Structure formats: C-alpha cells, structure tokens
Structure 1
C-alpha cells in the first residue's frame, strides 16, 4: 500500500527528517548538498510511503520572486526525489500533485529549478519553462544567473505571466534557483 502524507517541517520528527535526507542523497546519487537540504526546510513536505518505507519526497517553501515590479509570493518546489528502486510507479506524480495543491491554495505562482531529466514530469503536469532571463537579488545587488535560464519552470496560479520577461529570485546560500 502506498500513502502520501503532507506535513510542515515543524511537524516531522528527527527520524523522518533523517530518512528524507537519506532518500534524497540516494535519489541524487550523492549530488545533494547540505544547502540543498536546507532549501527545502521550513515549508510543507510531501512524503510517499510504501509498506512503511519512505520512498519519495518533495517540499514547497515560500520565496519571493520579483516580476514586473512586484514581489510575488511563490511556492518554490525543492527536494523532489524518489528512491531509485521505486521509480516508474507514479510516485513523482503523486508528490507533485500534493505540492501543487499547496501552491494553488497558498501562493501566487509555483516555481522550481529542474534538471534536464525531470523536465518531462513537470511539463506533463502543466509547468511552463521560463523563457526570459533570470537573475538573483544578491547582497551586492541584482546579478544575472544565465546558467539557470533553461531550468526554471513556473506554475501560474491566477497571475498572468509574460514568460519572456525578467525574473529575479531572492538570495540564499548555495544554488540560488
């Protein structure tokens, strides 16, 4: 039996958080740094359990994205991963359905940064690639993030977006997008 649970970081015990971190380390084949984990904390986690084992994780955290002279409240998706032996069973779709429900109920738009391998999952769910230039609001001012241009996807929620316009994310350590 498979079950998807939703919980805020504050409501997850240390063992569940450690299991989620271990799952993401495995899902990303060791390419999941401490700052990547930190980016997904403080929001709502979607957890897929199968026969008592944690097999999938995603989280959505609040970020501010500057667009068209406004600071939009964005539900930013982080740490989407499924344990390798459990892929291809719809767990990624279940995780995304859960975080999308949170985004649609609480934010002006959803946003995420994706790898090339995962773009099909997001596109199939209605996520749209950002076509314009990306930037980050750094401690030194607004800086271009050209290396992230092809990987930013958005899920509009009641906000009309010109996806060819500039999009600026708030600052954080590690990968800004």
Structure 2
C-alpha cells in the first residue's frame, strides 16, 4: 500500500531527503546537484511504499516576468516515479497535491517538461508556453531558446498571454 506525504523541505528529515535525492538520480540520467538544489525550499509530495520512496515532486517559489509584472510562480521540480511503480497513478497523486498548493498560493504554476512528461502535464490542464522564453541573468535578460518548447504553465488568478514573452529568475544550472 502506498501513501502520500506532503511537507516543506524544513520538515523533512535527512533520510527522507536522501531517499528522494537518490530516486531522482536513479530516474534521470542527466541529474545534477543543481537539479536537486532546485527541488529544495518548498513543498514536497513524496509517495512511500513501505519504507521506500517511490515518487517525488516539489513546488518551489520563483519569480516569472510576464506582461510587465513580476509574478509569484509555483515552479514544479523533481517529478519522478520509480520505473517499476509507473502507470499506477502516483504521478497524478503527487501533482494533485502540488497543484492545490499552486492554485492557492501562487499567481501561476510553471515547469519545464521532458518530452515524456509533456502529455501528462497537458492532460492535467497545463498549457505549453508558445511565446519566447528568457532568463534574467547577472548580465541581463538572455533568451533561452532551448526552453521554448518545454515550458508549461498552470494559469491562476492572473491573465496570461501564452504567445507573449516569459522570463524566469536566475539560478545556477538549468534556468527553466
């Protein structure tokens, strides 16, 4: 029997965070320490089966510039389910919990989707961002064309023009 636990990073013990980190490294071949760091400081949704972490996702706060405004975005990071437990609804369970957080605490949700995850997010009501993307870097606004086909948003209380420019705040590693 699986169980979902949602908690802020500050409320998770070292063993739980270590198990979540190990899961992400197991699932993603190109996982980096920056990617793990991006998952910290927000609310985690963790699926346990017995004493094993079989699923992880997190939502953290970021600033997204759109339409001349700095919006508070609930940015989803580190979504993964152990390979032998996929197709059982664990991803949907985690995202339902995090989408509730996004809808109640942020202006919008955002995430960078893998090719494999894009259909999953679209089916949940996330919209592909059609406009150009960029990042507010230490040297100014820099285009991020590699992200132009993988950024998804979950609209909230702020009107969005999906064809306009979208700029994320700076961070080390992958900015989107």
Query: If the TM-score is normalised by the length of the shorter chain, which range does it land in?
Result: over 0.9
Ranges in structure 2 where 5+ consecutive residues have no aligned partner: none
Q: Does 1:19 align with 2:19?
A: yes
Deviation at 1:93, TM superposition (A): 0.6
Ranges in structure 1 where 5+ consecutive residues have no aligned partner: none
- Structure-2 residue corresponding to 1:149: 148
For these two proteins, the number of residue pairs brought into alignment is 176
- Structure-2 residue corresponding to 1:100: 99
1:128-167 mapped onto 2 (5 Å cutoff) = 128-167=127-166
Output the CA distance in 1 between the equivalents of 2:25 and 2:85: 15
Output the CA distance in 1 between the equivalents of 2:30 and 2:96: 25
Report if the CA contact (8 A) 1:23-1:83 is conserved: yes
- Structure-2 residue corresponding to 1:64: 63
Output the CA distance in 1 between the equivalents of 2:106 and 2:30: 29
Output the aligned Cα RMSD.
0.7
Q: Deviations over 1:28-74 (max 9, x none)?
A: 1x321000000010000000112232100000000000000000000
- Structure-2 residue corresponding to 1:173: 172
**For 1:31, what is the secondary structure of its paired residue?**
coil
What is the TM-score of this pair, normalised by structure 2?
0.98
**For 2:175, what is the secondary structure of its paired residue?**
coil
